[in-house]
Structure 1
C-alpha cells in the first residue's frame, strides 16, 4: 500500500489523529477533513486524488450519507469505507446502496482491521470472487452483529417502503403472508435512472441459514445487476448468469440448504420485464398479457442453476410471487 493516498473524513479529533498516524506508518499519504463539505471541496477545488476514502457517518455541516450522495451526483468514483459507531442498520444499508464498499464499527480494538479492509478495497482482484467485488461479501459481517440486534428484526427494519416512487414509477407491494410468519422477503432498488432491480427470497426453507443468505444476497444484489448491464440502453442483463453467481456465492460462503429465489428486472424506458425463478412461482400481468413462471429448483439444490426465466413487455404491470403458503403482490405503475 506504500504511496497510496487516503482521505479520512472524521470529526473526532483524537480518533482521526490515531488513525492518521497508524496509516502513515504503512507508507500511506493521508488527507483529513472533519466533515463531508470540506471533503467535497478538497476533491473538487483542491483536486486531491485519493485512492480510497474512510468516512464517518455522523458529522457536522455535512454527514457521511449526504457526502456519499454528493459523490454519486458528481460522478466521483472513489471507493468509500464507512467507519462509524452507529447501530442504525438502515443508515448503513443506505450507504451500501449508494456505493460504499465496506464498513467497520467503532470502537476498533485492533487497527490491523483497518489495514485488512483497505487491502480488500484497494486490491479486489486478489479476492477469489472474480465475478463479484470481494469486499461486498465482507459487508455481511457488519449487518450480522448478533449481539446488537436479532437478525430477523434487522431484516424487517430494512424492508423497502410499501409505497415509493423510483424512476417515475409508483411501486407498491403487499405482503400476503400468514400471521406471525415472515416468509418471503422482498428487496428492490434503482440500478440506474431507467432500470429497477428486485428479488424475493424464501427465508424459511432453511431456517436460520435462510436469514443469513438473505443478508448476503442483499449486499451483492445491486453490484451484480449493475455489472450485468454495462450499456443500459443497448442490452438487457443475463439474469440466468446473475442467479448462477448468487448460487456460487452461497456455496462458496459455506451455506447449506435450499434458498428459493426470484430475481426481477424492469427497464422503464423500453418497458422490458425479465424474471428468473429458482424455487418461487410468479404470475405477471401486463396490459396485454398474463404469463406464469414455474418455480423450478431452489438455489442450493444443484451446483449450476437451470435456466428458468421469461421476458415480456409492460407499461403498467403487476407480479404475484408465492411459495406454498406465502405471497407478495408487487405493482408497477407510471406516475402519469
Structure 2
C-alpha cells in the first residue's frame, strides 16, 4: 500500500532537537523525504538546493524566527505551503503568521497525531481536504462564539493591536495612542502587503455598542484580502480606497452589524513614496514637514446604504497622521529606510 506522504519533500525548521527528531521520524514513517533546519537562516540555506513540497516551522527560533522566515519567503514570491507548529500563546504572532499566508497553525504540545496527519495532508492537498463549506462553518462557529461573549471579543481585539514600533516594507512605523485603558476606542491595524507597500486603518468602535468590536474583528480578518484583490485588478495603478470602503460598508450590512463605524484607511508605497488616505467619519490631518493637509472626514460607515468618499494622494518620504474621534486620538508616524 502506498504511504500517504510518499515522494513528498518536507522541510522541518525547528530549534528544539527532540521535537525536530520526532517530526523527522514520524514524517519519514509516512513516506516523506525530510530535510532539517535549526532556524530561519539555516532553512534559507537549505532551500538553495531543495524545493520542498511543504515546510513545517516553529515561530520562536534563534537568528531568524519563523515569522521573519515566512515574511522573507512571501516577499520573494515563494508560495511553498507552510505549517506552523509553535508553543506561542501570543495572538499577535498567530494573527501575523496567518496574514503572511501560512496554511495552518498547530499549538504545542502536539498530542493528536491523527490531527497532525490530517493537517499535513490538508496543506499538501488543499483542494481535497478543505471545502469552502467547511471553512465557512468554522468561521461562523468562531463568529457566533464572539457574538455571544462581548468581553472575550474585546480582549481578543486588544491582543491583536500591532506593536507600537516596527519596520515593515522598508518603512519605520510607530504610533502613539490616547484612549481609555479599560475599553476599546480607536483600533489600529498595520500590515505589509509586499516588500514595498503597506496598508493601515483606524476604526472607532465606540459608536455601535458591542457591534463596534465585532466590526473591528471582522475587518481585521478580511481587510488584507479585500485590498490584495483590488490591487490585483489595478495592475500598476495605485488602489482606489474609496471603492474598498464601499465594500467594507456592504460587509458590515451583510454581517447584520447595525451602527456607525467611523473608519480611516491608508496605503503607502515606499518605492513610489506615495501615500493615499480616505476617511469615513474620522477626523485626520497629515503633516509631511513641508505640507499640512486636513483630510475630509466624510460620513461614518453604516450611516447610509452606500459610502460617498473622497481620496487624497500625496508624495512624501516621511509623514505624521493625526487621527481622532469619539474613541480617542492617535498619531501614526512613518519614515522610509
TM-score normalized with structure 2 length? 0.70
**Residue 228 of structure 1, CA deviation:** 3.1
Which residue is 1:215 aligned to?
217
Which residue is 1:293 aligned to?
296
Which residue is 1:16 aligned to?
23
1:56-75 maps to which residues of 2 (within 5 A)? 56-58=58-60, 63-72=65-74, 75=77
Contact 1:151–1:211 (CA<8 Å) still a contact in 2? yes
Q: Distance in 2 between matches of 1:171 and 1:38?
A: 29
2:265 to 250, 263, 266: 263
Q: Distance in 1 between matches of 2:217 and 2:197?
A: 22
3-state SS of paired residue (1:44): coil
Q: Distance in 1 between matches of 2:62 and 2:181?
A: 43
Tell me the alpha carbon deviations over residues 158-205 of structure 1, each in whole angstroms, 9 at most, x when there is no partner. 433444555565544332334644300112233334323110112333
3-state SS of paired residue (1:265): strand
1:1-336 maps to which residues of 2 (within 5 A)? 5=8, 7=10, 9=12, 11=16, 12=19, 16=23, 20=27, 24=30, 29=32, 31=34, 33=36, 35-36=38-39, 39-45=43-49, 47-50=50-53, 52-58=54-60, 63-72=65-74, 75-107=77-109, 111-112=114-115, 115=118, 119=122, 122-123=125-126, 152-166=154-168, 169-178=171-180, 180-230=182-232, 234-247=236-249, 254=255, 256-258=257-259, 259-286=261-288, 287-288=290-291, 290-299=293-302, 305-315=306-316, 316-333=318-335
Q: Distance in 2 between matches of 1:190 and 1:268?
A: 11
The structure-2 alpha-carbon separation of the partners of 1:115 and 1:210, relative to structure 1 and needing over 3 Å to count, comes to: farther
Unpaired runs of 5+ in structure 2?
A: none
Q: Distance in 2 between matches of 1:186 and 1:320?
A: 12
How many residue pairs get aligned? The number is: 318
CA RMSD of aligned residues (A): 4.5
